[in-house]
Chains A and B, each alone.
Chain A
Amino acid sequence: AQSVTQLGSHVSVSEGALVLLRCNYSSSVPPYLFWYVQYPNQGLQLLLKYTTGATLVKGINGFEAEFKKSETSFHLTKPSAHMSDAAEYFCAVSRQGGKLIFGQGTELSVKP
């Protein structure tokens, strides 16, 4: 069975600081991994995804994530936080039939 764990339901950083949102997965087969962002009262928007190939994946808005098979991790990073990055972030892994399993979400706050 596949599952996703996001460490930390709430992360707070200062503007300009490094953003690190943690995601660990369990999967018996090579996974497809995704990060989504949700702004208040909106749907989820795809930030980036890992399917095959390069393990460092670049997404929109300056975010990137690295697939580390040995650590079963897919952490999301951004070198310098901006106020507009404040949102909720969801990590997800695909399972048989294409259905995604989502983590519980991490709310990112950015302090001026």
Chain B
Amino acid sequence: DGGITQSPKYLFRKEGQNVTLSCEQNLNHDAMYWYRQDPGQGLRLIYYSQIVNDFQKGDIAEGYSVSREKKESFPLTVTSAQKNPTAFYLCASSNFHDSNYGYTFGSGTRLTVV
């Protein structure tokens, strides 16, 4: 079955560490997205990529980095520059050329700073 896999489901980070969240899709989607979700704040776009080897900043990109070396993969690195990284992170993908399709979401990664 096609879908998006996020791993790990839970992740703990020490102060000053970089951590990488994995997102893999086998839907043959061109576009992939990373969102951050905090209680009462909805979904905020971190980065998105519409094609391999290209990505754009979203609304809250500071302290995060991404890469898109393969169509199937869009990992997100939370760097030590992100001062408040504790949140629920969601990855999504879509068929960029078909706007009425909507997004397919992964099951999320909950990151906690310890």
Contact = CB atoms under 8 A, between A and B. Distances in A.
Contact of A41 (B42, B102, B104, B110): B110
Interface residues of A, number: 24
Q: How many interface residues does chain B have, given as a range? A: 20 to 34
Nearest to B104: A46
A9 interface: yes
B107 interface: yes
Contacts of A104: 40-42
Interface string B78-114: 0000000000101010111111111111111010000
Nearest to B58: A99
A4 to B, nearest CB: 9
B34 interface: no
Interface in A1-56: 9, 32, 34, 36, 41-46, 49, 51-52
The DSSP consensus for interface residues of chain A is mixed
Contacts of A46: 102-104
Contacts of B108: 41-43
Contacts of B88: 41
Contacts of A32: 99-100, 102
A51 B33 CA distance: 21
A100 B95 CA distance: 12
Contact of B43 (A34, A45, A90, A97): A90
B48 A99 contact: yes
Interface in B12-40: 31, 33, 40
The 3 closest A-B pairs by CB, nearest first: A43-B105, A51-B100, A104-B42
Interface of A: 9, 32, 34, 36, 41-46, 49, 51-52, 90, 92, 94, 97-100, 102-105
14 contacts: A9-B40, A32-B102, A41-B88, A42-B108, A43-B92, A52-B100, A90-B42, A94-B100, A97-B96, A98-B98, A102-B43, A103-B42, A104-B40, A105-B43
